[in-house]
């Protein structure tokens, strides 16, 4: 029986009607994706996330910084938007476009580059979604994720590694150009380990030992495991790291949202709903 509803929303396709109907029997996890840099979208970002917050779900924002070559002003706008998203979401996962650029070469088309960047973010969403939906011997569930996030309000990051053999150092397996610089220095760690039919206990032991060495500074919050019903020595490791540093310093001119402004927006939306109902009755 479904107990968690996972929804993926982009800034460009959020529709209010999609957000009104909530089943009180379910827990909700929203992934909200936003590409920073356009100052004209700041108010929309605040409005959309404020509407989501009224439903009291768990909201994880995926924030992508623009390319540095797009200009300092655009990048500074994105930094402000990142901190606004951090205020309104339970957790934020961030990406630098410049780091994502390292996944492609100079001859890659703009269209293909966008697909590549979007796929990285989509894989991050799918990793967390599968973690919550895939039952195993030791489950990591929705409430584990909520507590994990509440324990530390720093940025979050999720990384999944899938291999058929365990014959190269684990530190190379978990490396990627778009990972935060302090990914291995996170304060909290959750591990979800999937294993196929022929993964032996020695491999299982070595994976755990090496992960603990790599993340020596982190408090191990929980380890989950599940069986992959297929032949071979495939293993799949999902790492959820919390308590890493913010990617950019908070601007000196940044001002946190006034709670009364939020109440004003909420009252305005209520008034509009009442007006619409009155118009329906009149008709």
- The pLDDT tens digits of the residues spanning 74-110 come to 999 999 999 999 999 999 999 999 999 999 999 999 9
* Cα maximum dimension of the chain: 73
| Per-residue confidence (pLDDT) for residue 97, from 0 to 100 | 96
For the chain, helix (H) and strand (E) counts, in that order, are 9, 8
| Per-residue confidence (pLDDT) for residue 261, from 0 to 100 | 55
Confidence check: pLDDT of 273 > 60: no
Which residues in 235-274 are b (16+ Cβ under 10 Å) and which e? bbbbbbbbbbeebbeeeeeeeeeeeeebeeeeeeeeeeee
Question: Which whole number is the average pLDDT over 215-227?
Answer: 90
| Per-residue confidence (pLDDT) for residue 25, from 0 to 100 | 60
- The pLDDT tens digits of the residues spanning 124-154 come to 999 988 888 776 667 888 899 999 999 887 8
**CATH class of the structural domain 4-282:** alpha beta
Confidence check: pLDDT of 274 > 90: no
| Per-residue confidence (pLDDT) for residue 264, from 0 to 100 | 47
């Amino acid at each position: 029986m479904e107990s968690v509803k996972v929804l993926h929303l982009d800034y460009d396709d959020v529709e209010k009607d999609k957000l009104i109907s909530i089943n009180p029997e379910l827990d909700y996890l929203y992934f909200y994706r936003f590409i920073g840099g356009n100052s004209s979208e700041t108010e929309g970002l605040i409005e959309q996330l404020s509407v989501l917050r009224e439903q009291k779900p768990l909201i994880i924002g995926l924030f992508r910084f623009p390319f540095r070559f797009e200009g300092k002003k655009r990048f500074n706008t994105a930094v402000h938007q990142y901190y606004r998203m951090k205020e309104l979401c339970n957790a934020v996962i961030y990406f630098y476009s410049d780091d994502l650029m390292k996944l492609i070469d100079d001859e890659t088309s703009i269209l293909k580059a966008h697909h590549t960047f979007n796929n990285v973010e989509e894989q991050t969403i799918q990793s967390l979604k599968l973690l919550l939906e895939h039952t195993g011997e030791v489950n990591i569930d929705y409430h584990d994720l909520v507590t994990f996030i509440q324990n530390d309000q720093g940025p979050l990051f999720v990384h999944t590694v899938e291999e058929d053999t365990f014959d190269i150092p684990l530190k190379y397996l978990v490396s990627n150009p778009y990972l935060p610089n302090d990914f291995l220095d996170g304060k909290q760690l959750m591990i979800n380990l999937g294993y196929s039919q022929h993964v032996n206990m020695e491999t299982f032991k070595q994976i755990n030992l090496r992960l603990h060495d790599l993340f020596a500074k982190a408090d191990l919050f929980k380890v989950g495991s599940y069986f992959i019903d297929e032949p071979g020595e495939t293993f799949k490791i999902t790492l959820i790291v919390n308590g890493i540093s913010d990617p950019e310093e908070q601007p000196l001119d940044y001002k946190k949202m006034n709670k009364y402004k939020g109440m004003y927006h909420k009252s305005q939306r209520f008034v509009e709903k009442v007006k619409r109902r009155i118009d329906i009755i009149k008709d």
